Amino acid sequence: MSHKVVRGSDEAIRDVGEGATIFLGGFGLCGIPENLIRALARRGTKDLTLISNNVGTTERGIGLLLVARQVRRMIASYVGENELFERQVLAGELELELVPQGTLVERIRAGGAGLPAFYTPTGFGTPAAEGKETRDFGGRGCVLERALRADFAFVKAHRGDRDGNLVYRGTARNFNPIMATAADTTIAEVEHLVETGALDPAHVHTPGIYVDRILRGERYDRAIEQRADRQARGR
């Protein structure tokens, strides 16, 4: 089983090809797989479809891949914090699909859970339902939403063992455990790589069955995207 452990982020993404579809965990800059993203920027792989709740800032996270023009298409729920992204969308260099956040994560869960589609009341009567089947359940309009899968999931956890069991910290959990279930290949970077047996089995958040490769991340910036006092932003 120790064949899941890879030496570093460059080795971990060795087979990510042009045009790949990739889930990227994290909410804003919290809990993003920053080492895998940097490796992908180094590798320079183009024409990517990225699925992530946000797009990061210009300097960090997915922003690095936008600067290098490696992204063709983005599926997200909120992209309001990145001016470069705005310019690329307006210039037609980048396709954008916006999905309500709860629908986005539920579509990914469905992809991992073998459910092809589900009905949700979210977005009924709004542009989020445009072009989609709708149906009434108990007097409530609902939208048919499809499962979402990807070629790769890049996730970040606080601790992980050699079997791929993962434990997240605080709100850095967010999309990571769900995305880990719904890709053909899931790559987890962790701050602390521990021996199998070191994690409490009752408190494993992502069982190792979902993780194909695991590595200790080379560097964690521990960046905070926003501060109450905007003057202090961008340390």
By CB under 8 A, the residues from 69 to 108 that bind its own copies are: 106
Q: Does 121 bind its own copies (CB under 8 A)?
A: yes
Q: Does 139 bind its own copies (CB under 8 A)?
A: no
Q: Does 109 bind another protein (CB under 8 A)?
A: yes
Only one of the segments 11-19, 44-52, 58-66, 109-117 lies at the binding site for another protein (rule: CB under 8 A); that segment is 109-117
Q: Does 161 bind its own copies (CB under 8 A)?
A: no
Q: Which of 86, 119, 146, 216 binds another protein (CB under 8 A)?
A: 86
Q: Does 207 bind another protein (CB under 8 A)?
A: yes
Q: Does 175 bind its own copies (CB under 8 A)?
A: no
Report CA 161 to chain centroid distance, whole Å. 21
CB of residue 161 vs its own copies: minimum separation in angstroms?
16
Sequence-distant contacts of 144-147: CB under 8 A, at least 24 apart: 144/117, 144/118, 144/119, 145/103, 145/106, 145/107, 145/110, 145/117, 145/118, 145/119, 145/120, 146/107, 146/110, 146/116, 146/117, 147/107, 147/108, 147/110, 147/111, 147/115, 147/116, 147/117, 147/182
Q: Which of 23, 27, 152, 154 binds another protein (CB under 8 A)?
A: 27
106 vs 189 by CB, closer to its own copies: 106
Give the interface with its own copies as residue ranges (CB under 8 A): 106, 110, 113-121, 137-138, 140, 142, 167-170, 200, 202-203
